[in-house]
Amino acid sequence: MMHERTGPTQEQMQLMAEQVVAALPEEFRAQMGEIVLRVEDFATPEQLHSVELSDKWELTGLYEGEALPDRSIWESHRMPARIWLFRQPLIAEWRETGVRMDDLVRHVVIHEAGHHFGFSDDDMHALEDDAD
């Protein structure tokens, strides 16, 4: 499925990301129904700027949308939230660390989904540290 030198295609990584969401407990999946998963090779300059990064190799994933705790019932015409995975930085991390690609994709999808539920990066790092 994956060639050692090139890593997964966009389509293969998209399927991995969809499998991560499908494996989540129902109570989380039900609240993620509208999220769009997208795989691109790199973040756009605007996406990098939004998280105060300048190096396109530093960003493996991004959540774009309004977190559930911040939503109002009075807003009905919002764009669906998006979880972006950036293929080339993930492949670089995979090559550098030796971590399985499906584990990297799972980590990024769950991390970005955490933003959907209102967790900050600091919150999620603390939860990850407690789990280790």
CATH of the domain at 123: 3.30.2010.20
CA dist 122 and 73 (Å) reads: 28
**pLDDT > 90: percent of the chain:** 55
What phi and psi values does residue 96 have, to the nearest 5 degrees?
Answer: -70, -40
Please, which residues have CB within 8 angstroms of residue 22's CB and are 6 or more apart in sequence?
29
Q: Tell me the helices (H) and strands (E) count for the chain, helix number first.
A: 6, 3
CA dist 78 and 55 (Å) reads: 30
The confidence score (pLDDT) of residue 1 equals 46
92 domain-assigned:
yes
Reported confidence tier of residue 3, pLDDT bands at 50, 70, 90: very low
3 domain-assigned:
no
The whole domain housing 126 covers 10-68+78-131
The confidence score (pLDDT) of residue 6 equals 80
The count of domains in the chain is: 1
What are the tens digits of pLDDT across the range 94-115?
999 999 999 999 999 999 988 8
124 domain-assigned:
yes
Which tokens in the block code for residue 28? 């989380």
More confident residue, 128 or 61: 61
